[in-house]
Structure 1
Amino acid sequence: MTPALPMVAPAKNLPTHVRIHEVGPRDGLQNEKNLVPTEVKAEFIHRLAEAGLTTIEATSFVHPKWVPQLADAETLFPALQDLDPEKIHLPVLVPNEKGLTRALTLGASRIAVFASATESFAKANLNRTIAESLDMFTPVVTRAKEEGAHVRGYLSMCFGDPWEGPVPVPQVVATAKALIDMGCDELSLGDTIGVATPGHVTALLTALNEAGVATHHLGVHFHDTYGQALSNTLAALQHGVTTVDASAGGLGGCPYAKSATGNLATEDLVWMLRGLGIETGVDLGRLTATSAWMAEQLGRPSPSRTVRALTHQEQ
């Protein structure tokens, strides 16, 4: 019979605490074909908060035409205002100044911009070159900082691109450095199509450090296409990274990169971290129940191995 919790066996040279940046409500749901009701999304976020997650990416203020699943941002965000902003952070993605205005009007205090390390994905996702996208984000980041907001920069295709193949480390470093120099408080390194391996992760983190980007500014965002998300996360932890993106139940993909499968499941991450003796503040039982509930709302089993193991869901 599967035990409810793993045995704790700490390893050397790892952080004592990891902040999980939960992306399920935004990145996890954005690619769903059937519209998820606003009230279900709101309950999902509340349940995640009750499970102990303190950073929950709520939604995106993109044009509804591009991501119809997130067209209810103006309705959803006010439904979350009962959550204590001192304890629960609710970042939102904004694509441009118009999106930023919409977010700030509703009281958002944490925003994120979404850049690409490759020209092909910048064209597919933003219809701009890398340089043009950075020019677009500069006034967004500047204004957000002036308004006192915390700014996260997402950098996608850091390890591989479906059109260009492996992405040279110096190319990623250049765009990452531009986002930090622009004023981003933190940078999430995205393995959008899940092709990274631990050595590649270490090489990129080392190169970023050598370019003057400190590890405490960095988070990692892995997809599990080739089953490497947890091993890549461990490599990042060994390097000193303490912010890890994950999606409850392993929900998500990428609408502009068809080879991208689900994000690293938050439950799988918590299971590993708990076994290593690394604190997250997350109640695995509550989190698992939340993801099982969300899977019921979506009408299919959760892809998270931990959720399936602890709830005996059938694949």
Structure 2
Amino acid sequence: MKLIECPRDAMQGLPDFIPTATKTAYLNELLQVGFDTLDFGSFVSPKAIPQLRDTAEVLAGLDLSRSSTKLLAIVANLRGAETAAQHPEISYLGFPLSVSETFQRRNTNQTTAEALTDVAAMHALCERSGKTLVAYLSMGFGNPYGDAWSPEIVTDFTQQLAALGVRIVALSDTIGASTAATITPLFSALIPAFPGIEFGAHLHTTPGSWREKVSAAYVAGCRRFDGAIGGIGGCPMAADELTGNMATENLLDFLAEKGVESGLDLEAFGRAQAMATSVFATH
């Protein structure tokens, strides 16, 4: 089981800037919990995501000496990937490839074809720099724009990623549109069809629907889950009303019910939860 904590996703849409020192202290607390990966920041235009304009400064303040957690940074184009790749502390570069053409334009100002060209270049860059590309299939469970969506379309995108050599693909429920009826068939079809790819679930959800979504992905064989403490955050490019992230504490409850070890230091998690309350309360 791999748990990926996403403070970047929790912070990115907040209107008030969280001071760099506060971000750094919170991330350092999260680094002690034992998450597989920390989605900690993004190298994108500060005009697009002003909240994360200090990612390089935050990175410089992280204490990785006592943590096994790997760092992931989100990038929106090849230039951002080249910047992120210069930092040896970063293990993963994450790129949002949208199943929806409309959202690709809104999110990265590209066509889907242009984005796929970037993905190929980013994967090659990662190979040269000792990093791994994580492709997020945004709007992976449908979209609000009327763009075509079907399991076959998602499979076709995955096939193109596999052909490029991408090894981690996270199906992303960018607006909380997924249900068990869409989650289970997708993972059940994709996981055996692409044995060389590790599939993850980046599920946005309302408080009442989280359990069915996690269960649907888990039953279908997914063992990589993204979450954010408190269920905070969402994609500011997707809608005005943000649908929150999957709450990490809910993921932990689900795993405990299943008798599955999370691998986390629960005391450290409690400290991070307490800090999250103060970090996000005033923003």
- Do the two structures share a fold, i.e. TM-score over 0.5? yes
Q: What is the DSSP-based 3-state SS (H/G/I as helix, E as strand, rest coil) of the residue aligned with 2:31?
A: helix
Residue 86 of structure 1: how far off its partner (Å): 7.2
The correspondence for 2:87, drawn from 66, 90, 106, is 106
* In 1: Cα distance, 2:229 partner to 2:67 partner: 22
Q: Which residue of 2 aligns with 1:118?
A: 100
Q: Please tell me the residue identity of whatever aligns with 1:235.
A: A
Moved over 4 A (4+): none
Q: What is the DSSP-based 3-state SS (H/G/I as helix, E as strand, rest coil) of the residue aligned with 1:92?
A: strand
Q: Which residue of 1 aligns with 2:27?
A: 45
Residue 39 of structure 1: how far off its partner (Å): 1.3
Checking the alignment, whether the CA contact within 8 Å between 1:267 and 1:284 is kept in structure 2 is: no
Unaligned runs of 5+ in 2: none
Q: What is the DSSP-based 3-state SS (H/G/I as helix, E as strand, rest coil) of the residue aligned with 2:4?
A: strand
Q: What is the DSSP-based 3-state SS (H/G/I as helix, E as strand, rest coil) of the residue aligned with 2:48?
A: coil
**2:204 aligned with 1:233:** no
The correspondence for 1:264, drawn from 207, 223, 246, is 246
* In 2: Cα distance, 1:130 partner to 1:83 partner: 36
Residue 137 of structure 1: how far off its partner (Å): 2.0
Q: Which residue of 2 aligns with 1:154?
A: 136
The correspondence for 1:58, drawn from 40, 55, 60, is 40
* In 2: Cα distance, 1:43 partner to 1:230 partner: 31
**2:241 aligned with 1:247:** no
The correspondence for 1:213, drawn from 173, 194, 209, is 194
**2:163 aligned with 1:181:** yes
Aligned 1:18-97 pairs, distance under 5 A:
18-24=1-7, 26-80=8-62, 82-84=63-65, 87-97=68-78
Residue 49 of structure 1: how far off its partner (Å): 2.0
* In 1: Cα distance, 2:195 partner to 2:65 partner: 30
Residue 199 of structure 1: how far off its partner (Å): 2.2
Residue 161 of structure 1: how far off its partner (Å): 0.7
Q: Which has the larger radius of gyration?
A: 1
Structure 1 residues 215 and 201: CA distance shift in structure 2, 3 A: farther
Checking the alignment, whether the CA contact within 8 Å between 1:222 and 1:264 is kept in structure 2 is: yes
Give per-residue Cα distances to partners, 1:168-195, cap 9 Å, x unaligned. Answer: 1111111122223222221110011112
Checking the alignment, whether the CA contact within 8 Å between 2:29 and 2:271 is kept in structure 1 is: no
Give per-residue Cα distances to partners, 1:243-286, cap 9 Å, x unaligned. Answer: 00101121111111114411000011111111211111123443
Checking the alignment, whether the CA contact within 8 Å between 2:191 and 2:199 is kept in structure 1 is: no
* In 1: Cα distance, 2:77 partner to 2:36 partner: 26
Residue 160 of structure 1: how far off its partner (Å): 1.8
Q: Which residue of 2 aligns with 1:224?
A: 205
Q: Which residue of 2 aligns with 1:8?
A: none
Checking the alignment, whether the CA contact within 8 Å between 1:230 and 1:264 is kept in structure 2 is: no
Q: Which residue of 2 aligns with 1:137?
A: 119
Structure 1 residues 86 and 213: CA distance shift in structure 2, 3 A: farther
How many residues were matched structurally? 281
Q: Please tell me the residue identity of whatever aligns with 2:38.
A: I
Checking the alignment, whether the CA contact within 8 Å between 2:185 and 2:220 is kept in structure 1 is: no
**2:170 aligned with 1:198:** no
Q: What is the DSSP-based 3-state SS (H/G/I as helix, E as strand, rest coil) of the residue aligned with 2:22?
A: helix
* In 2: Cα distance, 1:90 partner to 1:285 partner: 21
Give per-residue Cα distances to partners, 1:111-134, cap 9 Å, x unaligned. Answer: 111110111111211222211211
Q: What is the DSSP-based 3-state SS (H/G/I as helix, E as strand, rest coil) of the residue aligned with 1:91?
A: strand
Checking the alignment, whether the CA contact within 8 Å between 1:180 and 1:187 is kept in structure 2 is: no
Q: Please tell me the residue identity of whatever aligns with 1:66.
A: A
Residue 136 of structure 1: how far off its partner (Å): 2.0
Structure 1 residues 247 and 215: CA distance shift in structure 2, 3 A: farther
* In 1: Cα distance, 2:91 partner to 2:269 partner: 25
Checking the alignment, whether the CA contact within 8 Å between 2:24 and 2:58 is kept in structure 1 is: yes
Residue 300 of structure 1: how far off its partner (Å): 5.7
Q: How high is the TM-score relative to the length of structure 2?
A: 0.92
* In 1: Cα distance, 2:100 partner to 2:147 partner: 10
